[in-house]
Amino acid sequence: MVLGRGAFHLLRGKAKLLNIMVHAPLGFRVERVINIYHVRSKAEAIQMIERSDQDRCRYIHAFTGLDWFDSCNYHLTIDTAKVDFATAEEMITSL
């Protein structure tokens, strides 16, 4: 397993490769950031998320020319607001 920004591109063409994007809506992510990082406000959590997403998007685009959020780069996407992490793990490891 390779976890990282751009692994979908770096490993393209490899046998038995399964590219997975784990994502969630902003509201869900905000609550998670507040709970995990003990952020004081929703505005601060949103700022952290947006900064992180922008950095990741720029990184992926700079090195691959691709859009990190483009679902065409993935074989499977999982919305963790709908599927908890344990279930997502079970889904992935059963493939």
- The sign of the CA dihedral 25, 31, 34, 36 is negative
**Res. 1: pLDDT tops 80:** no
* pLDDT score of 32: 96
Q: Quick check: 33 and 39 in contact, CB under 8 A?
A: yes
Least reliable range by pLDDT among 12-21, 41-50, 65-74: 12-21
Predicted confidence (pLDDT) at residue 44 exceeds the cutoff of 80: yes
> What is the residue whose two structure tokens read 């920004």?
5
63-81 pLDDT, tens digit each: 999 999 999 999 999 999 9
- Mean pLDDT, residues 18-37: 96
Distance separating alpha carbons of residues 44 and 55, to the nearest angstrom: 17
Contacts of 27 (CB under 8 A, 6+ apart): none
What the chain holds in terms of domains, given with CATH numbers, is 18-84 (3.40.50.300)
